[in-house]
Amino acid sequence: MQINKNLIADANQQQLKAHQRRLSLATEDIDDVETVLQKLSSFNIAIPSWALGTGGTRFGRFSGGGEPRTLEEKLEDVGVIHALNQSSNAISLHIPWDIPDNAASIRALASQLGLHFDAVNSNTFQDQAGQKHSYKFGSLHHVDKEVRKQAVAHNVEVIKYGKDLGSTALSVWLSDGSNFPGQLNFREAFQNTLESLQEIYSALPDDWKIWVEYKPYEPNFYSTTIGDWGQSYLLANKLGPKASTLVDLGHHLNGTNIEQIVSILLMEGKLAGFHFNDSKYGDDDLTVGSINPYQLFLIFNELVEGMDARNMNHATDIGWMIDASHNVKDPIEDLLQSVQAIKIAYTQALLVDKTALKDAQQDNDVVLAQEILQQAYRTDVRPLVAEASYRTGGALDPVTVFRQLKGRENLIKERGLKTVATGL
């Protein structure tokens, strides 16, 4: 299914007057509205191919209707999201969930939809049919060299798929770890991981990067071999300039100060990118901004400050991606909500009075520093986000328009009620 641009324009027309009223109120106190709008318009967040179907837990999965059955249909769904918000111009593939059998035609379809391919993700956390060695006890860290070789070969194969599609980054998340004390020699597991990653690193094309994701627990519950940002950073440093750390917001223990982690990684030039989601307890994979939007804002505040300090391009110098799962929501609606939440937090961070904040910090004026941050956070920037979308041909209100256009009903008509997307 593809969304007709005229229908988006018609829907916008109905909301335009109210939008313009809200916009003029919202921009009254903002100095350089045009710069903010320009930055917002060029900001895009990649959609993971595995988030387009309904997720589940180990207790069950309640599939929705009209889920994409093929990679082509997943691309179409991202095309729908992008048509509505003009901020999701890339898709990130997980191999082997989404093997592009015919790279040329997949690339052609993507570019017809205005999309390109973000990082490709390898998968050595599940066994695939016909696989020689099992990953039950890990992959890149495995005690058996043959298992490590197989996992390295898989990553090299994923790079090849990515090359054919025009990707320029390999994203590696390992579930390698241990379930019980004594199961694993931590030092050897780390060394094995490093050696395996070095082999993968040497297979990277010149213009490629490798992003090393960390996670404290799950599926292993005693240790994870790349369990936190320190371990990932250590590996990235040992690997070299093409390697950096990927931060998935759900991969921290409760109370962790993620904004501080982000700030230091950015300062060191080792922040690869993000997997955005939200959580209350752990790796909950909830809609971005649904639980703790203030934390998201604080993260963006560090990002904007840190990127500006290094003269970076906000839109392209960091890999922005969602990594969420939707057990009870329509995946497309959920992803639209997530992208909106990210754009809201980004806009609020752009509005922080940096000079005043710096002065307050210099004066140890703690109260004023908080006031400055919260002034930006409490600004209703939704009209600016809507305006940026409108100006680039998207919908003023993407979720409402998706519903008005009967997006899901049409997908069900096209694909059927009982479809299940590949993925977790």
Q: What is the smallest separation between the CB atom of 96 and Mn ion, expressed in angstroms?
A: 17
313/39 Cα distance (integer angstroms): 10
Can residue 285 be called a binding residue for Mn ion (CB under 5 A)? Answer: no
Residue placing its CB nearer to Mn ion in the complex, 41 or 325: 325
Q: List binders of ligand PSV among 135-174 (CB under 6 A).
A: 173
- Closest CB 319 distance from Mn ion, rounded Å: 11
Among 19, 74, 142, 275, contact with Mn ion (rule: CB under 5 A): 275
Q: Are strands 271-276 and 243-248 parallel, antiparallel or unpaired?
A: parallel
The binder of 141, among ligand PSV, Mn ion, none, by C-beta within 5 to 8 A per type, is none
DSSP alpha helices (H): ranges in 166-205? 186-202
Q: Which of 22, 215, 252, 314 binds ligand PSV (CB under 6 A)?
A: 215
3-class SS of residue 98: coil
Q: Please tell me the count of residues contacting ligand PSV according to CB under 6 A.
A: 10
The single residue among 67, 76, 228, 248 that binds Mn ion, judged by CB under 5 A, is 248
Start-to-end C-alpha separation, the chain: 24
Rounded least distance, CB 253 to Mn ion, Å: 16
Q: Edge-to-edge strand order for the sheet containing 319-322?
A: 120-121, 169-172, 209-213, 243-248, 271-276, 319-322
If one asks whether residue 424 binds ligand PSV (CB under 6 A), the answer comes out as yes
Does 141 help bind Mn ion (rule: CB under 5 A)?
A: no
Tell me the sheet residues that pair with 213: 246
**Please, what is the angle between helix 103-112 and helix 145-165, to 10°?**
50
Of the candidates 74, 160, 166, the one whose C-alpha atom is nearest the C-alpha of residue 113 is 74
Nearer to ligand PSV, 67 or 283 (CB): 283
| Minimum CB–partner distance for residue 329 and ligand PSV (Å) | 17
Using CB positions, name the residue nearest to ligand PSV.
173
DSSP reduced 3-state for 243: strand
Rule CB under 5 A: which of 303-342 touch Mn ion? 323
Q: Decide: is 229 part of the binding site for ligand PSV (CB under 6 A).
A: no
Write out the DSSP string of 5-72.
Answer: HHHHHHHHHHHHHHHHHHHHHHHTT-S-HHHHHHHHHH---BEEGGGSS--EETTEE---SS---SHH
Q: Is residue 248 near ligand PSV by the rule CB under 6 A?
A: yes
Given 22, 74, 154, 275, the residue binding ligand PSV (CB under 6 A): 275
Strands (E), 102-142: 116-117, 120-121
Residues that bind Mn ion (CB under 5 A): 248, 275, 323
Residues that bind ligand PSV (CB under 6 A): 50, 121, 173, 213, 215, 248, 275, 283, 323, 424
